[in-house]
Structure 1
Amino acid sequence: MYPPPSRLHATHDDPDAPVRATDNDAALARLSAVSKRYLNDPYIAALVPRAHLQEPRPPLINIGTYLRGQGIDELVDGFLRSAGDATQVQIVSLGAGSDTRFWRLAAGPHKDRIAKYVELDFPDNTTRKAMAIRKSRVLSPALGSPDVVSVAAGGTALRSPVYNLLPVDLRHSPESSLRPLLASPENPLLSPSLPTLLLFECVLVYMTPAASDALIQWFVDYLSAPLGSIVYEMFGLGDSFGRVMLNNLRSRNVELPGAAPYPDLASLSQRFLRLNFTDANALTLYSIRRSHIDPTELDRITKLEMLDEIEELDLVLGHYAISWGIKAPEAADWRNWRIHPKARAVVDEDEYD
């Protein structure tokens, strides 16, 4: 959760390098959580250079990565189920980086439900990912036969019948950036009449509030079918611990212009309601760990590693949240779309010491 400083220095020629580098840290964190048996992801190693040589991350990062993954996985699965078994859906992952969700879905029970899976990111990130996919015997088969897969835009884009990896700067006006990619009048990549899920994992906080609102609003206006959105990011950074987090990131030349409007959990839900979603919710990772993980599973991950500072863990988890919103004509049909509470687990905190 705290990116290492060595890779995050901006240059005068490339001020966005620190933000792009956070994707590498997220990939290494997931690789570490997989290697320590918190998560099962057979695809992440293919997207991390020299994966077998990477050092594991500290337990605090592994636990946070696990909770993030569990919460978002449940929401994605719930969205697909809520849309109806006979309905195809579209998923758009914005600032996707090295995410492996497409491959995990392609190998799971919902594989035939995905009409389009679109990943959007900076051109540097999409170029690296496109090259890794094309070279990987693990990743490339899920896209289809080679004759239906194409590299485009000078190697920055990868297109297939379902999966599409496209370069874009999400801070630009959606009319000039998203519409040509996703909604061209001749051959739109996204259908406005299919249920669509947006994924934002540590993306909007790096954008100005005006830019992130415009980004979400574009999808609200374009889509006539149910629209879901999941956001994972830090929030509530006005307290003493939050200021430490901000200063830590600033020392690595990473700014969070999108953090200020979201001082508490309620404000994260209000983002969606303000942008004409019909229902919205939010949970901190702290809450997810305490009451939304199956007790048996929580007991399993508690025993994977020793953790010295449980208070620091709780502080960090309390500053990261998953929020989600739905825009649907019949909101009641979607009110069961959530991260469901599990029987409260009794965690022996001494097991961490």
Structure 2
Amino acid sequence: MSTFTTPRRRGHAIRGGRSNREVPSGDDDDVRNIEAGRDAIIQQTDHDASSTRMSTVSLGYLEDSFAKAFLAPGEQITKRYPIIHRGTYVRTEAIDKLVVRFLDTRPEQRKQIVSLGAGSDTRFFRLTARKSDSPQSKMAYHELDFEANANQKRTILRQSTELSDCLKQAEQHGSTYHLHAIDLRDLTNKSPPTIPGLDPTLPTLLLSECCLCYLPPDAAASVLQYFTMNLPESLALILYEPIRPFDAFGKTMVTNLASRGIHLQTLKRYSSLQAQRQRLLLAGLSDGQGARDVYQLYGDEEWVSQSERERIERLEWLDEVEEWKLLASHYCVAWGWRGEVFTEAWQGLRGSRTAGEDQDEPG
């Protein structure tokens, strides 16, 4: 079953954190226009991500037969730089590894995934279509995003035969797909909206790929609190976010993003791998936390095998080796959890603090 919803509000039946909306002074119309402009910039980043993914797929870094559905009619693939392709590959493979290990652990158990700010992400479709030696776990998959992004994806799903067929196949195998038009900031209100179909009895994995970092830190924490309070069973979160804003490269990165109107509001608070682990612990994901930057992941046999690295390095000549190291060390994947199913799924994956992280500490 697939559902496309705009949640309604309700009162005390579901608990949420306190509201963290800032109320600037000035004319209400001006404030709304400013907020709408900021939101539009964030929404546009999804098109950039989709275009980057299509470029990465077209060159053979990743397999994703569904990505092309999100190209506009007549739109040409914009080729990205090799370091961007490589970073997109590592990010996708690392997150996929964590997700698949969760789904393949206790496959008889139905599971739930909630993707925050999902945009044009194709992970549900790729998971549904993947070949597996073991029985695939049935899942309830929820995607949350701005109404404009959700409406656009809803249209693409209806127009694409390949995506529609995949949804039908998933339904036949007992999985469900839910696309919700919802502003995550509304989850921080005293009377937050419901998320239709969200099942509090299922072990649940939250995904945030450069999503929560756009919120003020307290609002991001309250969004997580919404889920930790309302999903009492096994719960985990995977984050993909930039880090290390205080060194020379980090300062340039922040300046470049600001010139495009992009402000990553949690970046300074969660500026290191250890800060990300601590964040997950404080959110109540107390059974384990891990974090690695993209450069570490690429060089670790546990995450990317030597044969895969050799394959990737044959796809394109990369002469910006030092720039790749700098860029990749300023983005991370972090994961934290509570519950035995995640402990079982992710045991052995190294993500604890390393000696090299001492450089992240303020001097």
Aligned twin of 1:195: 203
Q: Is the 8 A contact 2:98 2:346 kept in 1?
A: no
| Of 33-42 and 10-19, the range deviating more from structure 2 | 10-19
Structure 2 unaligned spans of 5+: 1-32, 352-363
Q: Is the 8 A contact 1:198 1:229 kept in 2?
A: yes
CA RMSD of aligned residues (A): 2.5
Equivalent-residue separation in structure 1 for 2:335 and 2:99 (angstroms) = 10
Q: Does 1:273 align with 2:278?
A: no
Aligned twin of 2:17: none
Provide the secondary structure at the position in 2 that maps to 1:283.
strand
Aligned residue identity for 2:121: D
Task: Give the deviation of 1:257 after TM superposition.
Answer: 0.9
Aligned residue identity for 2:246: G
Equivalent-residue separation in structure 1 for 2:341 and 2:126 (angstroms) = 30
Aligned twin of 1:316: 327
Aligned twin of 1:166: 180
Task: Give the deviation of 1:330 after TM superposition.
Answer: 8.0
Aligned twin of 1:3: none
Partner of residue 213 from structure 1, selected from 196, 204, 221: 221
Task: Give the deviation of 1:112 after TM superposition.
Answer: 5.1
| Of 104-113 and 28-37, the range deviating more from structure 2 | 104-113
Task: Give the deviation of 1:275 after TM superposition.
Answer: 1.1
Q: Does 1:20 align with 2:53?
A: no
TM-score by length of 2: 0.80
Aligned residue identity for 2:296: S
Aligned residue identity for 1:181: I
Q: Is the 8 A contact 2:243 2:332 kept in 1?
A: yes
Q: Does 1:114 align with 2:138?
A: yes
Structure 1 unaligned spans of 5+: 1-9, 149-160, 183-188, 341-353
Provide the secondary structure at the position in 2 that maps to 1:214.
helix
Q: How does 1:1-353 map to 2 (within 5 A)?
A: 14-50=37-73, 53-82=76-105, 84-109=106-131, 113-144=137-168, 162-174=176-188, 179-182=193-196, 189-278=197-286, 279-291=288-300, 292-328=303-339, 333=344, 336=347, 338=349
Moved over 3 A (4+): 10-13, 109-112, 173-179, 329-335, 337-340
Aligned residue identity for 1:49: A
Q: Is the 8 A contact 1:202 1:233 kept in 2?
A: yes
User: How many percent of aligned residue pairs carry the same amino acid?
Assistant: 36
Deviations 1:237-279 (A, max 9, x none): 1111111011101111111111111121111111110111121
Cα 1:178–1:131 change in 2 (3 A) is farther
| Of 161-170 and 21-30, the range deviating more from structure 2 | 161-170
Task: Give the deviation of 1:11 after TM superposition.
Answer: 7.1
